[in-house]
């Protein structure tokens, strides 16, 4: 189970003297006091004691291992926001720390990721810096909950949040610059009292300011420290909203109806508070956040969630599954096979007290907003072209999901060869895969209602996009065992897809686990020094031995038949695709640069499970 901590901080080991760089006093600086220890100073004022986990990836990774954390999403510290400085200096400062974050991530063995910071007093500069950072590898941005007197409903900040949604950037809102400080000079009260109030203010300002009615639903927003005092006082807010028109603000719905628009982290330090938070926000809206490695952070990251009375399924969500969805990390970390986590786009996200409807469950509005024809003037058949491709991709997603299930079942058999249930489960899922693929073969006929002339009218708009870039199709090939590394080159422009395919290359395929299971069953023996050909023959003979003893191996023969049928249907898919291609573009070259149908014909010989076919040749009459 991936454990992902979405709220923790870093400081680089050193950075330039900012006061000298900008010619203004009181910028934060780091004073190393002894090995592995340092103090953050703001001008002459002591701000915070820190230790090497802040800047040393090795120490951080060791502590993550100790606490069973797979990934951390690091942010800078609000003391560096500089929203009250000149925008030019704040931007320069943001760039320094954003680049430093990526340097740390680069040494993090893929387990450290980061959120950038932006000069939020300048919206244009913030949007530009966010775009730069997203291209450079940040997963999103950490912002403060206000900029001077401007709360999060400020039109400029709303514009920035729009931009975050467009860029697919996750947003973590962190309280800072706490209110009422003259009355809280002692006892860390700005942290223990001011911060929760600031966070509550941030959320309430967004709700009552009507920002959630304006912002797209795809915006991924999380508030630190469990959302501060918000959840506990939601009833008070709701009461005011219902009974006092003046408390209505600009929002269209009662405040409690907006809980499905943001998440909170789990940094509340009390099991009862966590339980209440999950009940209020919903299990899909709370994520592990530790505030590590600061003094007020969670010692033993994730221990609050792990030791809580929450159901195991909920703990899985809080510890990592929700973060995977929130951060769009589906492709980098594998969710547990036993508890598949629906992706953001399919999760039924409704507030606890809002009734689920057909449309909200299926995300119909979002789905119907995903077709964007490119032709001008608009060409009637382009919509069909888009919808047919999108439908294929949806079914590819289901196929990957089911084939992952097949891998998990066969792995279970390899671990315990007496487990008949897992063999049946593999066969059951494979049957679904063959039925889906049958539909996919048929579906080309719909596209063939498009005349070649009509396609050529908008084909020019598609270049250089090509089926070669269908990540899921290639994933399917890799997952079934056809791992051609060369095909990765078509995914260089999309690093996420590239990383996902690299992962598939490394992971066991259906082919691998099928034969591992036969080996565990005692059907397959291969000597270490066998040649590739001899190994292939041994695998084919293992299949043969199943068919030869039908009475004892009905369940396995069913798996073999389903795999063979799937192989057969994928070849049918390739053939129908070629026929479609020839019908629509003749012998033209492809938009992906191949020779078109003559190239595609070469793929017809590809088989996922050639041993299953070879076994048929070996069968005696």
- Which residues contribute to the site for ligand HEM (CB under 6 A)? 388-389, 392, 447, 455, 466-468, 470, 473, 577, 580-581, 584-585, 590-594, 596, 599-600, 603
The residue (of 180 and 460) whose beta carbon lies closer to ligand HEM is: 460
| Among the listed residues 603, 609, 597, the one whose alpha carbon sits nearest the alpha carbon of residue 514 | 609
The residue (of 517 and 584) whose beta carbon lies closer to ligand HEM is: 584
Q: Specify whether the CB–CB gap between 399 and 393 falls below 8 A.
A: no
| Among the listed residues 34, 33, 31, the one whose alpha carbon sits nearest the alpha carbon of residue 14 | 31
The residue (of 373 and 592) whose beta carbon lies closer to ligand HEM is: 592
Ramachandran region of residue 98, left (φ > 0), alpha (ψ -120 to 50) or beta? alpha
The residue (of 173 and 476) whose beta carbon lies closer to ligand HEM is: 476
What is the closest distance, in whole angstroms, from the C-beta atom of residue 514 to ligand HEM in the complex?
22
Buried-exposed string 91-122: b where 16+ CB fall within 10 A, e elsewhere? bbbbbbbbebbbebbeebeebbbbbbbbbbbb
The residue (of 184 and 571) whose beta carbon lies closer to ligand HEM is: 571
The residue (of 520 and 580) whose beta carbon lies closer to ligand HEM is: 580
What is the closest distance, in whole angstroms, from the C-beta atom of residue 438 to ligand HEM in the complex?
15
What is the closest distance, in whole angstroms, from the C-beta atom of residue 474 to ligand HEM in the complex?
7
Beta strands across the sheet bearing 140-144: 4-9, 71-75, 112-116, 140-144, 170-174, 221-223, 263-265, 286-287
What is the closest distance, in whole angstroms, from the C-beta atom of residue 596 to ligand HEM in the complex?
4
Q: How far apart are CA 529 and CA 600, in angstroms?
A: 36
Q: Specify whether the CB–CB gap between 260 and 351 falls below 8 A.
A: yes
User: In 168-261, which ranges are continuous DSSP H helix?
Assistant: 189, 195-208, 211-214, 234-243
The residue (of 191 and 473) whose beta carbon lies closer to ligand HEM is: 473
What is the closest distance, in whole angstroms, from the C-beta atom of residue 600 to ligand HEM in the complex?
6
Q: How far is CA 609 from the centre of its chain?
A: 31
The residue (of 96 and 462) whose beta carbon lies closer to ligand HEM is: 462
Q: Specify whether the CB–CB gap between 43 and 19 falls below 8 A.
A: yes
What is the closest distance, in whole angstroms, from the C-beta atom of residue 473 to ligand HEM in the complex?
4
What is the closest distance, in whole angstroms, from the C-beta atom of residue 501 to ligand HEM in the complex?
13
Q: What contacts 495, CB < 8 A, 6 or more positions away?
A: none
What is the closest distance, in whole angstroms, from the C-beta atom of residue 388 to ligand HEM in the complex?
5
């Amino acid at each position: 189970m991936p454990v992902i901590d979405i709220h923790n901080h870093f400081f680089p080991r050193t950075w330039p003297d900012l006061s000298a760089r900008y010619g203004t006093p009181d910028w934060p600086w780091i004073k190393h006091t002894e090995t592995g220890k340092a103090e953050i100073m703001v001008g002459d004022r002591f701000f915070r004691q820190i230790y090497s986990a802040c800047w040393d990836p090795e120490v951080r990774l060791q502590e993550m291992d100790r606490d069973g954390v797979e990934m951390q999403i690091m942010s800078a510290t609000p003391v560096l926001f500089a929203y009250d400085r000149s925008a030019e200096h704040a931007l320069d400062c943001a760039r320094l720390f954003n680049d430093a974050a990526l340097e740390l991530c680069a040494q993090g063995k893929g387990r450290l990721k980061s959120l950038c910071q932006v000069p939020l007093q300048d919206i244009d500069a913030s949007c530009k810096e966010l775009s730069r950072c997203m291209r450079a590898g940040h997963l999103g941005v950490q912002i403060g909950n206000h900029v001077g007197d401007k709360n999060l409903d400020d039109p400029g900040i709303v514009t920035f949040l729009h931009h975050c949604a467009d860029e697919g950037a996750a947003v973590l809102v962190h309280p800072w610059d706490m209110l009422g400080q003259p009355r809280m000079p002692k006892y860390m009260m700005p942290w223990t009292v001011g911060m929760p109030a600031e966070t509550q203010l941030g959320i309430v300002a967004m709700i009552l300011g009507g920002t959630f009615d304006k912002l797209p639903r795809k915006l991924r927003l999380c508030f630190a420290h469990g959302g501060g005092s918000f959840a506990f006082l939601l009833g008070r807010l709701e009461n005011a909203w219902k009974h006092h028109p003046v408390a209505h603000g600009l929002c269209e719905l009662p405040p409690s109806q907006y809980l499905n628009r943001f998440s909170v982290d789990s940094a509340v330090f009390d099991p009862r508070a966590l339980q209440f938070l999950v009940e209020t926000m919903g299990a899909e809206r709370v994520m592990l956040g530790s505030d590590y490695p600061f003094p007020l952070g969670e010692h033993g990251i994730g221990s609050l969630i792990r030791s809580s009375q929450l159901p195991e399924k909920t703990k899985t969500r809080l510890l990592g599954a929700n973060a995977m969805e929130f951060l769009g990390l589906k492709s980098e970390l594998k969710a547990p096979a036993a508890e598949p986590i629906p992706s953001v786009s399919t999760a039924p996200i409704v507030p606890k007290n809002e009734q689920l409807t057909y449309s909200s469950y299926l995300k119909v509005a979002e789905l119907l907003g995903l077709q964007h024809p490119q032709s001008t003037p608009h060409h009637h058949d382009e919509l069909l072209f888009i919808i047919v491709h999108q439908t294929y991709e949806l079914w590819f997603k289901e196929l990957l999901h089911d084939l992952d299930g097949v891998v998990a079942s066969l792995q279970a058999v390899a671990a315990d060869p007496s487990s008949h249930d897992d063999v049946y489960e593999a066969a059951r899922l494979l049957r679904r895969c063959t039925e889906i693929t049958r539909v996919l073969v048929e579906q080309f006929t719909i596209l063939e209602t498009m005349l070649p002339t009509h396609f050529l009218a908008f084909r020019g708009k598609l270049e250089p996009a090509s089926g070669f870039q269908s990540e899921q199709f290639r994933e399917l090939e890799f997952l079934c065992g056809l791992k051609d590394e060369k095909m990765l080159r078509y995914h260089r422009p999309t690093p996420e897809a590239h990383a996902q395919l690299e992962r598939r290359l490394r992971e066991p395929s259906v082919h691998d686990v099928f034969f591992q299971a036969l080996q565990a069953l005692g059907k397959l023996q291969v000597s270490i020094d066998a040649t590739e050909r001899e190994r292939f023959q041994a695998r084919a003979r293992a299949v043969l031995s199943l068919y030869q003893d039908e009475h004892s191996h009905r369940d396995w023969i069913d798996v073999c038949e389903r795999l063979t049928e799937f192989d057969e249907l994928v070849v049918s898919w390739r053939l129908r695709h070629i026929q479609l291609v020839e019908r629509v573009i003749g012998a033209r070259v492809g938009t992906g640069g191949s020779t078109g149908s003559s190239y595609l014909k070469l793929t017809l010989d590809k088989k996922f499970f050639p041993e299953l076919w070879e076994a048929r040749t070996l069968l005696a009459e």
